[in-house]
Structure formats: structure tokens, C-alpha cells
Structure 1
Amino acid sequence: MRSRYSIPVSTALILGSVLTFLTSCEANHSPITEHATSSTLIPQTKIQTFTTATPVPLPFATTKTKRWNSANNGTPYEPCNALTPASLLASKILPETIQDAASVDGQTIRGCMWDRTSTGAGFSQVVVNSASLTAYKHNEPDNFLADIEQNGRTIGVATSATQCFTYVQSYRSGVITAFYMGSVNPESYEELCQNAIRFTRANLQRIPIGN
């Protein structure tokens, strides 16, 4: 089942994002701190500092000790916890089919994937460290469409292989929401993108912005 979920993240992007982050921190003399968090970062009273996020309890058991790692810890947002059954069902996504999006321990992406009611169709939402939507576009070969604006935030939209996905910036990470074609009566790219955009718009407030 996992093989059909092709998450659009490249090694070049990850390395570039990490280097950009480290260079920025060094230039601004900003300390990197770590702390446990569930939804928001600890407010900084003097200087805004970047704070790497740390693991939170998941709705399922996992043996992956490196699920959270330096390639996906740029935001405290955890898709597996943030998306409620009601928000999933509204888009015909089956909450009970939740599973870890990472197939191996230490994978660059962090998040979950679910089945949809259409035969063979899927949905995923993952996090990967990325400096910005612009940087992500520069490093990925996907077919990006026109950006969308909502409440002062930019939503990137792209198609790749058998999916359409959106990109939303959250602190130093990108949150990628993808809808996949099913094996029977597959949807068109237009339908997939409509679903991805609709879902992202409806759940945008769940994703923290950060600095």
C-alpha cells in the first residue's frame, strides 16, 4: 500500500534547507534550542529564536525512534494528531485507515497517510523542512500551478505523477497535503487539485505560521 504514495520531497531540498537554516542562525547569532511542544512554540521575550520541534504522542504505536529528525523538525505541527476524524470524513477520507507516512526510520518526511472512499485512492499530509515555498519550487521538478492566497498566507499547488498537492509554510517547514488517484475510475488532475485545495483551505487554521 505504501508504495503508491510518492511524497514529493528530494534529497537536494533537504540538504539545501538545512544549510540555509544553519547559515541563517550563525549569521544572526541566534541560538538553536529544543523543547517539547504540542501546538505552539514557547514565546520569546527578547530575541526571536528558531526553536526545533520535538516529538509528541501519536494516535498509534510506532517503533521509529528517528521519525522526528533534523530533516522534518522545523515545525511543531504533527499531521497525524492535527487532523480530526470530522475534518477527514468531510473529504471522504477514512480516519480508521491512518498509518505512518514514513516507510523507514529516519525518513525525511514526517506525517501520516489515509485511504479515501474511492477504490485505491489515497491522501497524505506530511512535514519536511524547507525555507520557503520559493525554495521548494526551486528544488522540486513538480508542475506548479498558480499560488492561492488565504488569510494572508500563500498556498502552493502542484501536480506530480498520480497526485495533486498543496504546500503551506509553517515555521521552517513545509506542510504538504496530497490527494492521490485511485486504481479504479481515477480522478482527473483537476478533480484532485480541487480536493487538495478545498481540504487545505478548510484546515489552514490548524497549521501554525511561525517566524
Structure 2
Amino acid sequence: MGTILVGIGLSACGITGSPVPTASPVPDSSTATGIRQTDDAGRRLPFDTEFPDRWSSNNDGTSYEPCTQVSEEVIRRFGLNVESVSDVAGSNFQTARGCQWSYLNNELSFMSQFVGNLDQPQGGLSAHKEDYSSTTWHPDIEIKGRRVSIGSTAPSDCAAYVQSGKSVVITNVVLIEQNPPTLDAVCASAADFLRATIDEIPE
């Protein structure tokens, strides 16, 4: 894989582009161009993707699709703006596949959840942590019987990682505030969002 975006570095990865969010599912407007707009179960993305290879060999290790499987109830519960949804992918054939939501009370801060294939799926999260040794790794936790790794690269960024098939699902929080919370609080927020969505994430 080699190009997976580490969740905690998402805000600095130079992602460009701004898919247009839709308030509710609409008919597939890109059928004529052949660009896929639905997940494996036929659920419509909350925006129109312009990328023919949004789903690719870089992120096909799990069927989980955050953009369609994270419920609006969960998004609202965490103080996020449902209408702010955007694709984390800024280019075609990108490793990261998922969505990002801004906070209602702070548009500069956001929560994202996305999928990317593991370089060494047989090594699981341990191998992933070795691959990204520049990340500050905190003690692993357990959520509903599953191992979850917690990592950060800055006081305002933290992410929770869980394996799903041959992929890793990354839940990332970036809080940019005048009086920022502690890093422990940022990490707890990432873990809580993962906890709220983990039932949808296949092992």
C-alpha cells in the first residue's frame, strides 16, 4: 500500500477538492459517466464523487463505508454538522476512503472516519504502528472486544484505529480552538466516535 493516510495527519495532507454534499439521497446523477456513487450494499453517497476509482485496490480490504454507514443520529450526537459532510479523498485512486464532518460550533475543527488497506494485513495493528513509527502511539484500548490503537502527531489531533479485514478504519479528530482541550480529551473523543460506530465495522 505505502500511501495510506495516517488519520492524525489528515489535516496536513494537502487534500483538495470540495464534493458537493446533498441533504438526502438523490438519483444517481453520474450513471451516464459510469462513476460509481453507491457502496457495496447499494447505499447512495451523501455527495457526488467525481473519482472513478474512489473505491480501489488501495482501500478494498473491507466493505465498510463510513460515508453511508455512520448514521445521522451519531453525527448529531457528537455535535457535528450533517450538512458539512465531505469526501476525505482529494484525488482519484487515493488510499483514504471515507468522510469528514465539521463541528457545529467550530467549522475549523472536524471529525473524520476513513478506510485504507494495510501494508501488512497479517501483522494487523502491530505492523501498522511499526510502519508509522513517527506517530506518537498511546496505550491500546479495547472496544467491544476489539483491539484499538490510539495515535497522535499534535496536541490538537488524535485518531483511533481498528482493523477491518485487510484494512484499517481510522477515526480522526482535529480540534482547533483558542482554548484547546487536553490531548487525552481529543483522543477520548476519537475513541468514543469509534465506539458509537464499531457495530457497523466488520472484523
Residue of structure 2 equivalent to 1:113: 100
Contact 1:163 1:178 (8 Å CA) reproduced: yes
How big is the shift at 1:190? 1.5
Letter in 1 for 2:111: F
- State how 1:123-134 maps to structure 2 within 5 Å: 123-130=111-118, 131=121, 132-134=124-126
Aligned pair partner of 2:180 in 186, 208, 211: 186
Residue of structure 1 equivalent to 2:72: 85
* Structure 2 residue 166 is the aligned partner of structure 1 residue 172: yes
Q: Once the two structures are superposed, what CA deviation does each residue of 1:159-178 show, in whole Å capped at 9, x if it has no partner?
A: 12331000011111000001
Q: Once the two structures are superposed, what CA deviation does each residue of 1:46-65 show, in whole Å capped at 9, x if it has no partner?
A: xxxxxxxxx96312111111
SS in 1 for 2:82: strand
The number of equivalent residue pairs is: 163
**CA–CA distance in structure 1, aligned partners of residues 100 and 137 of structure 2:** 22
CA RMSD of aligned residues (A): 2.1
SS in 2 for 1:76: coil
Q: Which has the higher Rg, Structure 1 or Structure 2?
A: 1
Aligned pair partner of 1:152 in 124, 128, 145: 145
In 2 relative to 1, CA 117–188 (structure 1 residues): closer, same or farther, beyond 3 Å?
farther
Q: Once the two structures are superposed, what CA deviation does each residue of 1:6-35 show, in whole Å capped at 9, x if it has no partner?
A: 329x9xxxxxxxxxxxxxxxxxxxxxxxxx
Q: TM-score, normalised by structure 2?
A: 0.74
Letter in 2 for 1:145: H
How big is the shift at 1:183? 4.2
* Structure 2 residue 130 is the aligned partner of structure 1 residue 138: yes
Q: Once the two structures are superposed, what CA deviation does each residue of 1:97-138 show, in whole Å capped at 9, x if it has no partner?
A: 000001111111111111013421111001000111111101
Aligned pair partner of 2:197 in 164, 185, 203: 203
Letter in 1 for 2:139: A
Stretches of 4+ aligned residues off by more than 3 angstroms: none
Letter in 2 for 1:103: G
* Structure 2 residue 5 is the aligned partner of structure 1 residue 6: no
SS in 1 for 2:192: helix
* Structure 2 residue 55 is the aligned partner of structure 1 residue 68: yes
Q: TM-score, normalised by structure 1?
A: 0.72
In 2 relative to 1, CA 144–118 (structure 1 residues): closer, same or farther, beyond 3 Å?
farther
SS in 1 for 2:83: strand
Contact 1:118 1:182 (8 Å CA) reproduced: no
**CA–CA distance in structure 1, aligned partners of residues 40 and 104 of structure 2:** 33
Identity %: 33
